[in-house]
Amino acid sequence: MSSGRIRFEDRLGGAAVQDGKGPHFSLTSTTRGNVNATDVRSAVARTRDWLLEQQNEDGYWVAELEGDTILESEYILLLAYLGQGQSDVARQAAAYILENQLPDGSWTHYPGGPIEISGAVKAYWALKITGHDPDAEYMVRAREAILAAGGAEKVNSFTRYYMALLGQISYQQCPAVPPEIMLLPSWMPFNIYEMSSWSRTILVPLSILWAYQPKVDLPPEHRIDELFVNGPEKLPVTMPPSEQLDDLKQQTRINWGAIFRGIDRVWKVVERCRIKPLRSVAVARAARWMRERFAHSDGLGAIFPPIIWSVVALKCLGHRDDSPEVVAALQELERLMIREDKTIRLQPCKSPVWDTAISTLALREAGVSERHPAIRRSVQWLLSKEVRQPGDWSVRRPGLPPGGWYFEFNNAYYPDIDDTIMVTMALTRCLPGRRHADWSASLVPTGPRSYTDEADLAAIVSGQTDDPLQSCVAVEAMRPMLAAIRRGVRWTFAMQSRNGGWAAFDADNDREILTRVPFADHNAMIDPATADITARVLEMFSCVGLDTDHDIIARALRFVWDQQEPDGAWYGRWGVNYIYGTWQVLVGLTGLGVPAEDPRLQKGADWLEACQQSDGGWGETPRTYDEPELRGQGPTTASQTAWALMGLMAAGRVDSDAVKRGIQYLLDTQKEDGTWDEPWFTGTGFPRVFYLRYHLYRIYFPLMALGRYERLTGQRVDG
């Protein structure tokens, strides 16, 4: 047996993954004419080395997650409620707000965008609270810009709540968020689990706020009456129809917005009559729900808005400023701070799991061995962040064993499908043992062929080897990774929505009429399935060697095809915008095995090529969410260029002139240290409302694209 190769097979207790065989590990490389081979190799090396240097000693990567100035403004408004509006921290946050004022006096929610009225009003108010003279030239410009945009009457519902909290308006002028909603069972159409997870974590503490209606009256010099066109006392008691909501996909003759505004008025009348028989029970349930989710989390939901409102809710419930609960929530806000040049800015949350998974994938694509210490550390850190407890998702999927990963350092109640996909793919790319065997493996169902939520997955790892002993050692080393991959894939299977697609956090979270309730004007009240996440799920299935001849995949493919735009592009929900969506569909579907020659994929690739700009790069503005006719247009960026390049390469256009020009763009714009400048926002939080700048997008996505180009053109062959 020692003179030849033997067959080695091991069943790993229901967990496995393919390694070394198939498109996810070593796409077939054909030697082609090299294009700037030396330059590409040098560029990959510079970025690879820079990224390796940024790894934390614990094994993770995380960079700043930048939003707009509503974060600093709302933090100052919270401090004003706590009696700290003139503190050094508040003044330093105000200094950052002032730095970001535009020449016309306004503030916007992404670079190059128009005035964002709620953000501008809060920025002006925060500056005034922290001592800025309203007669100063920059304050006059701000005031004029706000009034020209319609005045403070135009602010959104959450801004109205800040106004009520600080005595600028009454709570009657805010949309009602009654805590009685907590008493609605999950089978009713308007319960909290029909809302998106992020809306849920905001509205539960906000319901406590509505019940108690706390108020701190600011001194007259801190009021903002001058920002109202007609005065705050004339502000209607209901919210006007929002201009930032997407159109309903399922059109109806019923004006749900008007109906909900009518219900809002009636509810307020009923409350004024003191008809609240279940109020104490509802508040107690809301408080218990909120406190339960403090556990194993970096604050409620691990994101800025619910943490802010949880502080106020805790105060309503009788907690003092020095109570452990309030102190803990305020500390989570402090952990989101970045201090620089006598300013303070805040992040909406932190993104270590996301950054670590994509950094790991990019480094592997750049040829870094799975045995490299940095890769080993990242794998161990990712394994430590796996969710092993039920969460809000369990309401829709009772009995489903936990699995998956979240976005932040700690957020156990809210694993999300996108992070689970990325981590699972990263783990598959980092399995050990390929020195000793040519592995062949597959995930096989032990339950129904349709992969319903009762289905389970078993895994077989097999291969031929010259060293049986070392192969056994390697298989043992794989077990924790394989088990985590299996749980993540199983959990993702079961989170498929009824329409065949996948959303971010929940399944079947698509009740559109909820987007017309008065407090839904943040345009993210629901979490419907999207083409970008669905295509990425399909990419993950290919990475784990899954047999694709199953109904779950057929339904997913139908969903993705149905989402294609007439011009060939796909909408991107979680990245800006059609470039993001089209890239992900092209990569996901070809990875799954859909032929690159499929006319629908080629139409998407044609669209990408048509959007290429004169400098060879690609760029798209967030404005495309408001004006889809602008799709594919905007300042060129490294991250969006990388997305387009990977989409075109997936569509079989590695040798195309468009790809060569795009690669050259990345080479020409790379800095000496291996990074790229990218001031633009290419991440999406709430379309039309809130956008993000991931500070590592400009690093790991270009590295991934350059590494993939190097490999596919035969300039590097992975061992």
**Active centre residues (catalytic):** 418
Give every CB contact of residue 603 below 8 A, 6+ residues apart in sequence: 564, 567, 568
State the DSSP code for 416.
B
* Phi, psi (deg, nearest 5) at residue 575: -150, 155
* Distance, CA of 104 to CA of 144 (rounded, Å): 9
CB distance 492 to 502 below 8 Å: yes
One-character DSSP codes across 171-215: GGGS----GGGGGS-TTSTTSGGGS-HHHHHHHHHHHHHHHH---
Distances in whole angstroms, Cα of residue 508 to Cα of each of 203, 395, 520: 20, 12, 18
Residue 253: exposed, middle, or buried by beta-carbon count in 10 A (0-12, 13-18, 19+)?
exposed
Contact 537, 548 (CB under 8 A): no
Strand-strand pairing, 683-686 and 65-66: unpaired
Tokens of 552: 């779950």
Contact partners, residue 371, CB within 8 Å, separation at least 6: 432
Name the burial class of residue 88, with classes exposed (0-12), middle (13-18) and buried (19+) by CB atoms within 10 angstroms of its CB. exposed
Structure tokens given for 696: 């590592």
In sequence order, the 6+-apart residues with CB closer than 8 A to the CB of 630 are 621, 623, 624
Longest dimension (CA), the chain: 91
User: What whole-number distance in Å separates Cα of residue 659 and Cα of residue 661?
Assistant: 5
State the pairing for strand pair 6-11/457-465. antiparallel
Place of tokens 């799709």: 631
CB 428 within 8 A of CB 532: no
CA distances from 24 to 20, 365, 538 (A): 8, 10, 12
Integer Cα distance of 98 and 123 in angstroms: 8
- The residue among 95, 96, 147, 93 whose CA lies nearest residue 120 is 147
Q: What angle do CA 94, 97, 103 make, to 5 degrees?
A: 135
The token pair that represents 73 in the structure block:
């403004």
Report CA torsion sign: 70, 75, 76, 82. positive
> Are the C-beta atoms of 116 and 626 separated by less than 8 Å?
no
Measure Cα distances from 285 to 115, 126, 406, 619 in Å. 39, 33, 25, 47
Instruction: Report helix, strand or coil for 349.
Output: coil
Alpha-carbon 645 to chain mean position = 22
**Residues found in the chain:** 719
Task: Judge contact between 29 and 709, C-beta under 8 A.
Answer: no
Gap between the Cα atoms of 312 and 308, Å rounded? 7
Rounded (10°) CA dihedral 238, 241, 245, 247? 130
Q: Outline where 100-196 has alpha helix (H).
A: 117-129, 137-148, 157-165
Estimate to the nearest angstrom the gap between the alpha carbon of 322 and the chain centroid: 33
**Three-state DSSP state, 143:** helix
